[in-house]
């Protein structure tokens, strides 16, 4: 193989065509020629091909949301635009071609094309009548004549509608040739690896089993009302995604969350403290015969667990608004402390335990929790600080261990905070940790 794209970064934009199922084939063709590939996806494209699939094939994080940041905190479409040697949009829908011709930057693919000076290759795929429509043809001409894009025209063949026509995505070999030609015709520039989108971290958690809890538990008051908290689950889900990307076998125990659950991890849904307790016991504790130890390497307890519940259980009927109402509450069990006790002391147990301390003025209280609960690490964050925590996309954390070593990270995207926590976990797993 000639490796005609060796050292080049090709940004592949995937839009919402059923032909998106061919995108893995295009990635393989590009990589066979030595290219590095970064994938961008429109929201519609994710319904045809999984971002996890594309991340696995490319080894790079996939940008599928215009507002999402890369794991290192940079703006994904700007990084892609600045570092690409060429941008390939395949398949390109009529919708995307029209939006691009009008300069509408409503998704990562159009935004990147608007922000780049690299050559752009567009390979449409759609129903034959859509491709032949004067509006689509006018938009396609705008891309080639006004913008200087290379167009790889669709070919005649069987279409998803069941008909035949000139709307079928060109073969991967033809698209590849167009990319190579476009790069050859553009000014040569030295690859700047440092500016490129980050490679998915090497599997420093490969072979490890990690359990993560996320979201807020809820306790029923009556038939319709609950006691809950403001947790969005963002930090726990970021931890599950980061652990997955670093090679771990991840179990995510998710309570109520306000963000999508990740792909590529095992998921157990819970609601109440008792349900979370049962899920943790099933995941972490050895069987009753006591002949096996826990196979879990780490528990990261990021869920916001309800501190109180109704004494005697919830009311069987909806409580009425007649006059003043008094609710009698009782504390819920401390699940993490209980797990630590049942697994044995820090020096003896295999499983590393990481807790969270969301407090006002968090550090002192976090140090107390670390000792009282016999944890390996505790992550402290001040919930009163503006712009971080809860529904925010950012967090600031102080990571404490039993030796008093504190790592401070942020304010930063929660994925960045997640990787900082996992860095400390990896160090514990390698060294055995402080005793």
395 annotated active-site: no
251 in Cβ contact with 283 (< 8 Å)? yes
Place of tokens 């954390």: 397
Q: What is the DSSP string of 268-326?
A: EE--SHHHHHHHHHHHHSPPTT--S----SEEEE-SB--SEEETT---SSPPP-SS---
Give the Cα separation of 249 and 295 in Å (integer).
11
Q: Which of 170, 25, 167 is nearest to 93 (CA)?
A: 167
Q: Which of 272, 275, 273, 253 is nearest to 262 (CA)?
A: 253
Give the Cα separation of 329 and 292 in Å (integer).
38
Give the Cα separation of 262 and 147 in Å (integer).
37
Tokens at residue 350, please?
């295999």
One of 139, 229, 381, 395 is an active-site residue; which one?
229
Tokens at residue 378, please?
């505790």
Tokens at residue 275, please?
């349900």
CA angle 128, 23, 234 (to 5 degrees): 120
Q: What are phi and psi of 333, to 5 degrees?
A: -65, 150
Tokens at residue 385, please?
């600080």
41 in Cβ contact with 11 (< 8 Å)? no
Q: Please state the length of the chain.
A: 435
Tokens at residue 375, please?
């944890």
- For the annotated catalytic residues, the residue numbers are 229
């Amino acid at each position: 193989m000639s490796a005609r794209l060796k050292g080049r970064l090709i940004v592949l934009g995937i839009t919402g065509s059923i032909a998106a199922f061919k995108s893995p084939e295009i990635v393989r063709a590009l990589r066979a020629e030595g290219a590095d590939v970064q994938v961008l996806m429109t929201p519609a494209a994710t319904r045809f091909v999984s971002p996890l699939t594309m991340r696995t094939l490319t080894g790079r994080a996939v940008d599928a949301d215009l507002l999402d940041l890369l794991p290192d905190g940079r703006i994904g479409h700007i990084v892609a635009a600045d570092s690409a040697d060429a941008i390939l949009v395949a398949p390109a829908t009529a919708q995307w071609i029209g939006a691009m011709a009008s300069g509408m930057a409503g998704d990562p693919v159009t935004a990147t094309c608007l922000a780049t000076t690299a050559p752009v290759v567009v390979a449409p795929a759609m129903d034959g009548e859509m491709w032949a429509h004067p509006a689509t043809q006018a938009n396609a001409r705008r891309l080639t004549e006004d913008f200087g894009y290379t167009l790889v025209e669709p070919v005649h063949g069987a279409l998803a509608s069941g008909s035949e026509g000139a709307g079928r995505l060109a073969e991967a070999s033809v698209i590849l040739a167009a990319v190579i030609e476009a790069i050859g015709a553009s000014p040569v520039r030295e690859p700047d690896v440092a500016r490129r989108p980050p490679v998915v971290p090497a599997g420093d958690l490969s072979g490890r089993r990690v359990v993560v809890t996320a979201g807020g538990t809820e306790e029923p008051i009556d038939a319709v009302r609950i006691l809950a908290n403001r947790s969005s689950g963002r930090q726990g889900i970021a931890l599950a995604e980061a652990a997955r990307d670093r090679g771990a076998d991840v179990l995510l125990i998710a309570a109520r969350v306000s963000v999508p659950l990740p792909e590529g991890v095992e998921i157990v849904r819970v609601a109440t403290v008792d349900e979370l307790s049962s899920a943790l016991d099933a995941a972490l504790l050895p069987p009753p015969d006591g002949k096996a130890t826990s196979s879990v390497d780490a528990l990261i307890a990021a869920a916001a667990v309800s501190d109180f519940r109704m004494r005697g259980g919830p009311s069987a009927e909806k409580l009425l608004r007649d006059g003043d109402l008094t609710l009698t509450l009782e504390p819920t069990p401390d699940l993490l402390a209980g797990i630590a006790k049942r697994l044995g002391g820090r020096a003896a147990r295999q499983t590393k335990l990481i807790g969270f301390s969301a407090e006002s003025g968090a550090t002192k209280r976090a140090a107390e929790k670390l000792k009282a609960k016999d944890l390996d690490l505790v992550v402290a964050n001040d919930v009163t600080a503006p712009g971080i925590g809860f529904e925010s996309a950012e967090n600031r954390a102080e990571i404490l261990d039993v030796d008093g070593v504190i790592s401070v990270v942020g304010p930063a995207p929660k994925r960045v905070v997640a990787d900082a926590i996992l860095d400390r976990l990896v160090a514990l797993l390698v060294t055995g940790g402080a005793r």
